[in-house]
Amino acid sequence: MNELPNDSRAPGAKAAATDTAKKRGLLVSVKYFFTDRDKLEPVMVTILAALFALAAGIGLIFLVSKQPALSVRNFLLGPVLRSYNFYYLLIVMVPLTFTGLAMCIIYSLKYMSLITDASFYFGAVIATAIGVKVALPAGLHPLVAMLAAGIAGGLIGTLPAILKIKWRANELVSSLMLNYIFFFLGSFIILYFLRDNSQTIFASLPFRKTFALPKLIPNTQLHAGLLIAIAFIVLVSLFLFKTRWGFEIRLTGANPKFAAYAGIPVATVALYAHFIAGFLGGLGGAVEMSGLYRSFIWQMDPSYAMDGVIVAMLARKNPKFVPISAFFLAWLRVGADFMSRRGDVAFEFITLLQGSIILILASDKIVNSFKARRLRKAVLAANAASANAMAEATR
């Protein structure tokens, strides 16, 4: 009888072989990650930055608190001491996730725009107008508001890119100026067109009941915006690493001249990257309004873009790691808030920790020093090997 071909194995045997190959491939990938210093060193710097921030926070608590042990306990364990605190942590994660994803796209393009702040705030204003003035069925109402806010945020997001492409204006400076413009424009719209005159505080008219997102857990503020944020983590990850447009963004950020030489429209890439980032910011503002508030009450700019900067830097511009970095930053925020309520350390000390994280992560010299040291060792080893070889040859 002729031998059976390999494909004639039993289905169970083929499935087992496939699973073994997948596990072996996963083990090889993990081993390669921990042996590839170019990938490992940035991760280690990020972890060290987080640990340094925690250590600095604990040290500061011991300096200023009269009950440092209790304050440290509340700071580190506050998010899990009560179920309400943990739900609050998940709520805080939602806007951090949206702005973190937006900044991941902008940083992948190697731009320094902070226009996400204006997109987020003005997206909340657009959502407020739809939540107050437009009558739509439940479920459809917040979706329409999110779409409109996302489009408005996307259009706002393209402005720094247009200014840089047309007139070579610095995107960081122009985005900061535009943030003020859209903050005051949004405040003007709320104050003169949507304000509730029966309130003594700055507040819009109450939202329609159909505008609210459903709650995930009864008797809590945890809303469906968390699920929307999780869905967009997956979508942005697929977009940035599995599509042609995401590849163009990453290639343009790595080397704009090479991208242009390869036929990629660099200006177009910058425009649609900023539109998508602004869309995420505007969408985040709409989700925050429909999920957490009954009316617009922001008297100050929440400045979620700076939080998004920290989230994106901790995630190393990779959307897959945004939930981890957003969870870490939310943990610090909730712990600091719980500590300030139960102790004598002000909540504002968290800004010092955030500043230390930015300083460490923004310093490329830390990673570059590791690479330079390794390169020097490699060059010295190569020179020694060549000298030994020449010595052996002359004998």
* pLDDT recorded at residue 249: 97
- Assigned domain for 249 exists: yes
Q: What b/e string do you get for 136-167 counting C-beta neighbours within 10 Å, with b at 16 or more?
A: beeeebbebbbbbbbbbbbbbbbbbbbbbbee
The tally of domains found in the chain comes to 1
- Assigned domain for 15 exists: no
> Domain limits at 129?
40-363
* pLDDT recorded at residue 382: 76
* pLDDT recorded at residue 254: 93
- Assigned domain for 389 exists: no
- Assigned domain for 213 exists: yes
The Cα 342–Cα 122 span in angstroms is 35
- Assigned domain for 383 exists: no
Q: What is the CATH number of the domain that holds 77?
A: 1.10.3470
Helix, strand, coil shares of the chain, percent, nearest 5, are 80, 0, 20
Look-up of token digits 């039993």 = 10
* pLDDT recorded at residue 44: 77
* pLDDT recorded at residue 308: 93
Residues 6 or more apart whose CB falls under 8 angstroms from that of 74 comprise: 81, 335, 338, 339, 342, 343
Q: Record the pTM.
A: 0.86
Task: Give per-10-residue mean pLDDT for the chain (395 aa).
Answer: 49 55 54 53 77 88 92 93 94 97 96 96 98 96 98 98 96 96 97 93 95 95 97 97 96 95 96 98 97 94 87 93 95 93 86 82 64 70 75 73
- Assigned domain for 29 exists: no
Q: How far is CA 18 from CA 4, 15, 159, in A?
A: 19, 5, 50
Q: How far is CA 202 from CA 191, 206, 304, 395, in A?
A: 8, 12, 20, 90
Closest to 274 in 3D by CA, of 160, 181, 388, 383: 160
* pLDDT recorded at residue 4: 46
- Assigned domain for 393 exists: no
- Assigned domain for 385 exists: no
* pLDDT recorded at residue 237: 96
The Cα 321–Cα 165 span in angstroms is 31
